[in-house]
Structures are given as C-alpha cells and as structure tokens.
Chain A
Amino acid sequence: MNTNSNVYTVVYTTIIVVIAAAILAIAAMALKPKQDANIKAETISQMLTAAGFSSKEDLAKLGNDQILKMYSDNIKTAFLIDAQGNKTGELETAVNDIELQDNLKVENKNIAAGDPSLPVYVFVKDGAEINVIPVYGAGLWGPIWGYIAFDADCAKIVGAYFDHESETPGLGAKIKDEAWFREQFQGKSVNYGNPERSFRIVKGGAPKDDNAAVDAITGATMTCNGLDAALNTWFRAYMPFLQKKAGAAATEVDDCCGGDCCSGDGECSDCNHEHNHNHQEG
C-alpha cells in the first residue's frame, strides 16, 4: 500500500486523531468526579487554614472526606451576597453536598461589571463567629487568590491564606510558602473610611501606626502589587456587607449598655468587660 498518497495521509491522520480524542474524552469523564472532589477539598482546606482551624500542612495529610467533615462540623452558615451586601441565596453546608462559590475568576469579572454574587462563609470557633471571604487577582505570571478570615463583627482580620498558580518559587511564591507573610494579617483591620484603598501591602515596611497595612515581600514586588490590588478590589466589593456587619456590632454594644438588657448585674458586667476588652485591643 502506498503510505505516501494524499488520500491515505488524510484518512490515516483523521483516524489517529479521532482515536486519541476518544481515549482522552473517556479518561477525562472517568476522572472528573475525583478531580472535582480534590479541588473542592483543596478550596475548603484553604478556608479552614485562613480561619485558623488547622494548618495547610496538617490538612494535606487528611483525606478529602475528613476535610469536608471538618468544614461541615465547624461552619454555621454560608450564603451569597450581591453588590449592595444583601443576602441573595444560601449555600448548602451538609457534609454530603457542600456547595461552594469557588469560581472566583468569573466573580472577579462580575465585580468589575458591578453585578457579583459573592460568598460569605461563617464558621464558629470557640463560640465566636468567623467570616471568611475570598479574594482573587492577577499575580506576575498567573492568577493569585486567597481567603481572608474576619472576626464576628468584621472589625479585625483573624487569619489569611494565599495561593497562586505559577508565581516564581522563592520570590512571588512566598505569599503562599512563607508563614510570616500570612501571619502579618492577624489583628489587622480594613480601613472602612477609605473604601477605594482599604488595605495596603507596603514595600519597604508598613508604617507602625497604620493597622490596615502589612509588609511586602522583598523581590516579589509584582506579586505583592497584584495581591494588593486583589485585596482592594474584593474588599471594595464586600464593603457594604462588611460595613453593615461592623455597624450592627457597634449598635448592639451601645444598645446593650445603655438600654434595657442591662438590668441584670451579670449582663452589665459582661458588657463592661467586653468594652474593656475592645479598648485594650484597640
């Protein structure tokens, strides 16, 4: 047979390509559920790390099932909000059908378009609520994203976790690899007074009197700039929700200490105690 004729060549390549495509399609379909489960567990373990339930290293040793269970055991509620900070839907949190809003790339576009559907994950740790929100943006080589955990009234950041697709190892990749970078965020707050620039990652060191700023990483200027932009974009999108939370918390404390609920001694001293506590930390 003449293997160099045009007809033979066209037929041959067509058959080879169809066979290869069929094999790949079958493999992709067969492996998809397992891959999706991995991605889901990975996303959840990033949230759990940000919220301070465990460390990424410890979670990596657990199976997917255990990670899902840990999530389900510790979460109170998860819901979606719109650009005005109003609740628009619930996310299922039961262990067998956990729903996540994890297509951050799409939401990042929606934020720009002014019509996002943003997730808020509310965990409970030691009796206190922790609100976890995602951030997403562009690093130097590819996307970077992360999860930021706020305390119950969104006044303080209690933890953060960042990840990236392809930042330079030893430089930009430090946003994920270096614990000190993430730990800096603990105790910081978002500057509600300046929604356009509510948080800063400062090259050369954050000023000591600015509680809405952290140090940048040496040699990773582009990645840090990207993360800075990501944080500001997403904090801006969440701002109505965060401010509502912070506002509600402030009125609650005021109401309590000025009003009826303070009739009992026990509650009143609780109030004072909380006030003092806030004062010390503030």
Chain B
Amino acid sequence: MNEDLKKTLLNPIFKGNPITVLVLGICSTVQLKGALVMALSVIIVTGLSSFVVSLLRNSIPNRVRIIVQLVVVAMMVILVDQVLRAYAYSIDKQLSVYIGLIITNCIVMGRIEAFALGNKPIPSLLDGLANGAGYGMILVIVAFFRELLGSGTLLGFRVLPASYVPNNLVILPPMALIILGCIVWVQRSIQKDLQEK
C-alpha cells in the first residue's frame, strides 16, 4: 500500500479522529453490543457513500450536489437498517431510530464534502471507512465504560461482582459527554500539537 493511502486510512482513527479532533457527529449508546453494531453500520455507510459519491463526482451538478449526496447516504442507511432488521432483529430493535439517524451524522456528509468530491473512488472508500472506524472506536470506548459502570456487565455478561451497585448517573446521556471529554483530554495530553495555546 502506498504512503498516501496508508495515511488516508490511519489518520482519521487517531490523529485526525472525527469525534475528538474534528468534533463531528457525537452520538452514543449505553450498551457495548449496540455500540459495536452502530460502529459497524456507520463504517459501512461512510465507506460506501464516499465511494459512490466519488464515482459520481464529475457528473454531479454543483447546485444540487448536497441533495444528491443525501440521496446516496439515505439509500445506504436504509439498506443497512433493512439488513439489520432481517438478520439482527433484536439489535435493530434496541438501536431503533438511531440507525436511521446515521443519515444526519455530520461525519458522513462532512467526509463526502471534504474528501470524496475531490478524490478518486478508492481513496474515498478508505477515507470513509477510516472515519467510520474512528467514530466507532470512540463510541465503543464510551459504551464500554457506560455498560461496565452503569450495569456492571459487558456485552451482557456480568463482569463486576453482584455486590456492585450500578451507577445510574452513568446511564444518563450527560455521562457520555463527560466520558467523551475525558477521552479528548487523554488524547490531547498524548498529542501535544493538538493543544490550543
């Protein structure tokens, strides 16, 4: 793999992570299993949408490009939702409207506008996949702590002893933002160049 592609693939996962660095598309789940499926769904949607838009990029009329992008993204999201409903019904039920809301996730449109419109299909596919993965990684980390501390389980298996009293604060939405803040903090103390003066 050449250096540029490698950079396209690896950069969004840590150094240019869409959530902690670009601060796009924050969204969260309480359960680790849901987070894994959500992450996978976003990876597929961002990857394939970027790929398709990149294929069309020279033919899309500039004035309606956002609408055309939206049609492509919405189609991918509905496909993912339909497939989950057929093959992973219980998880689809748990994620319910949030799968549909991937359409509104800024990472998808953001990467199409910023990258796929100006690059060839293969790099666009990698960029989409990598940004989805960067998002998914943060989502999984947040869900890991929320499920561990909020219910004492991981992927539904009891990890902490039964004597552990689940912390209800962790289940409530604000805690996801607090955990996210902690992740940004950790990342910025490792990568000093991200710190604003």
Q: Give the interface of A toward B (CB within 8 A).
A: 3-4, 8-9, 12-13, 16-17, 20, 23-24, 27-28, 31, 34-35, 38-39, 42, 60, 165-166, 169-170
- B interface, how many residues as a size bin? 20 to 34
| A42 to B94 CA separation, bound complex (whole angstroms) | 13
Secondary structure of the B side of the interface?
A: helix
Segment touching A, from B35-43, B56-64, B181-189: B56-64
Also in contact, A24 and B96, with CB within 8 A (given A9-B63, A31-B82): no
| Distance in Å: Cβ of B178 to nearest Cβ of chain A | 16
Contact with A along B67-98 (1 / 0, CB 8 A): 11001101100110011011101100100110
| A20 to B61 CA separation, bound complex (whole angstroms) | 17
Secondary structure of the A side of the interface?
A: helix
Also in contact, A20 and B168, with CB within 8 A (given A4-B61, A4-B63, A12-B60): no
23 pairs, A vs B, C-beta closer than 8 Å: A4-B61, A4-B62, A9-B64, A12-B59, A12-B61, A13-B64, A13-B67, A13-B68, A16-B56, A16-B71, A23-B75, A27-B79, A27-B83, A31-B82, A31-B83, A35-B85, A42-B90, A42-B93, A166-B96, A169-B171, A170-B30, A170-B150, A170-B172
| Distance in Å: Cβ of B54 to nearest Cβ of chain A | 15
On whether the beta carbons of B96 and A60 are closer than 8 Å, the reply is no
Residues of B within 8 A of A4 (CB): 61-63
Residues of A within 8 A of B61 (CB): 3-4, 8-9, 12-13
* B29 nearest in chain A by CB position: A169
